[in-house]
């Protein structure tokens, strides 16, 4: 066992003596990854960190649904659950409650029983969390009034319209607001679980788990839910029937080190710079300069994650030219420096 792991166990003896109860609230037609992702993170701690955690796991994990018994996920896989009544008998104290998301969450949202249960237990729960559209159930119970939250990008506007007293941050990957943790859904649930572990057991524990699951240790809350390339191409396909913008974005991605001023981009369309700039903003919602910046950022992120190239070289390859220019874009878009972004990548960690 490493010295860091020994120190971890010495620092958190209370977890071995009294495991904390983590409950995932599920339902028919849930997205199974919403529930399984966080649960797998917590469940991996005994075998990965070993020591006292191997014989005394720090978390007690329970999967529940309103009525209990088997529930069926969107993928057709069924899992067994406790009922809320059984949970109340078996776990009078809940440390962390995670509400999963999926198409079936509308039944939770409309359930008087579930909303009443959430309100009755929320005051004694240390951490209240949701994965993706699980936010709708928490909002229906009146637990998100005045709170800042995130949800899956596809449902952000709907959540804000239905529950105007909350503040939905449409672009964030996840958000930690006091005792409330919300995230974008699907794989972001793993990021949220790593954050919860980091809060409880420290960065070393979260890092070991991140390496095992081959994900980021702690992705910035400002990191967008969709990559710049995917966003650009999706917008283009929705609004440009002849696919010209998709081709333009592919050309930009292949020529990041080139002169990508609006005049050069306009040449690809055979338009005047002014006409092209106006048409581009009307079609995509971004200026050409903003699109180029985001595509360069996307490329830089991939290079930082997958190569050991010096940061100065990454800035050149991604088309930023100077390292300082790339650093400003990272801070503006992700709230983190290129150096710190790389250090959060499992690939970079394994090179240490």
pLDDT in tens, 4-63: 444 455 455 455 568 999 999 999 999 999 999 999 999 999 999 998 899 999 999 999
Per DSSP, the three-state class of 203 is helix
CB 249 within 8 A of CB 233: yes
Distance CA 104, CA 38 (A): 19
Residues 6+ apart with CB under 8 A from 67: 83
DSSP secondary-structure letter at 153? G
Q: Which tens digits make up the pLDDT trace of 260-276?
A: 999 988 888 788 999 98
| Other Cβ atoms within 10 Å of 311 Cβ, number | 18
- The DSSP code sequence of 206-259 is HHHHHHHHTS-SS--TTS-SS-HHHHHHHHHHHH-TT-HHHHHHHHHHHTTTS-
Kindly state the average pLDDT of the residues 244-268.
83
CB 25 within 8 A of CB 99: yes
* Geometric angle at alpha carbon 171, from 100 and 324, rounded to 5°: 130
Report CA Rg, the chain. 23
Structure tokens at 112: 């008087």
Query: Domains in the chain and their CATH numbers?
Result: 3-213 (3.40.50.880), 228-350 (1.10.10.60)
Please, which residues bridge with residue 24 across strands? 63, 98
Give pLDDT, residue 77: 97
Give pLDDT, residue 134: 97
Buried b (16+ CB within 10 A) or exposed e, 194-212: bbbbbebbeebbbbbbbee
Per DSSP, the three-state class of 175 is strand
Q: Which tens digits make up the pLDDT trace of 301-319?
A: 888 877 788 999 999 999 9
What pTM value is reported for the model?
A: 0.67
Q: Which tens digits make up the pLDDT trace of 118-138?
A: 999 999 999 999 999 999 999
DSSP secondary-structure letter at 155? G
């Amino acid at each position: 066992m490493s010295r860091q792991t020994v120190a971890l166990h010495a620092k958190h003896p209370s977890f071995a003596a009294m495991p904390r109860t983590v409950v995932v609230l599920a339902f028919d037609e849930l997205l199974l990854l919403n529930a399984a992702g966080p649960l797998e993170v917590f469940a991996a701690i005994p075998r990965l960190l070993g020591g006292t955690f191997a014989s005394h796991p720090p978390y007690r994990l329970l999967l529940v649904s309103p009525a209990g018994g088997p529930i069926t996920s969107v993928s057709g896989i069924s899992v067994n659950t406790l009922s809320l009544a059984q949970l109340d008998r078996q776990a009078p104290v809940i440390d962390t409650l995670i509400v999963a998301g999926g198409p079936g969450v509308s039944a939770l949202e409309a359930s008087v029983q579930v909303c009443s249960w959430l309100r009755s237990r929320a005051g004694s729960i240390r951490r209240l969390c949701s994965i993706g559209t699980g936010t709708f159930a928490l909002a229906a119970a009146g637990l998100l009034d005045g709170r800042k939250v995130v949800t899956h990008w596809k449902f952000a506007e709907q959540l804000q319209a239905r529950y105007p007293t909350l503040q939905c941050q449409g672009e964030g990957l996840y958000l930690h607001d006091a005792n409330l943790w919300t995230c974008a859904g699907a794989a972001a649930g793993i990021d949220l679980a790593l954050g919860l572990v980091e809060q409880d057991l420290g960065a070393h524990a979260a890092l070991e788990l991140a390496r095992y699951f081959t994900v980021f240790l702690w992705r910035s809350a400002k990191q967008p839910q969709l990559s710049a390339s995917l966003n650009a191409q999706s917008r283009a396909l929705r609004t440009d029937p002849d696919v010209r913008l998709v081709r333009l974005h592919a050309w930009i991605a292949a020529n990041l080190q080139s002169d990508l001023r609006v005049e050069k981009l306009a040449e690809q369309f055979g338009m005047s710079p002014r006409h092209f700039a106006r048409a581009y903003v009307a079609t995509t919602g971004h200026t050409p300069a903003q699109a180029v910046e985001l595509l360069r950022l996307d490329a830089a992120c991939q290079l930082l994650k997958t190569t050991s190239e010096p940061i100065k070289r990454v800035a050149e390859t991604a088309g930023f030219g100077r390292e300082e220019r790339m650093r400003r874009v990272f801070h503006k878009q992700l709230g983190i420096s290129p150096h710190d972004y790389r250090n959060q990548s499992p690939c970079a960690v394994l090179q240490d």
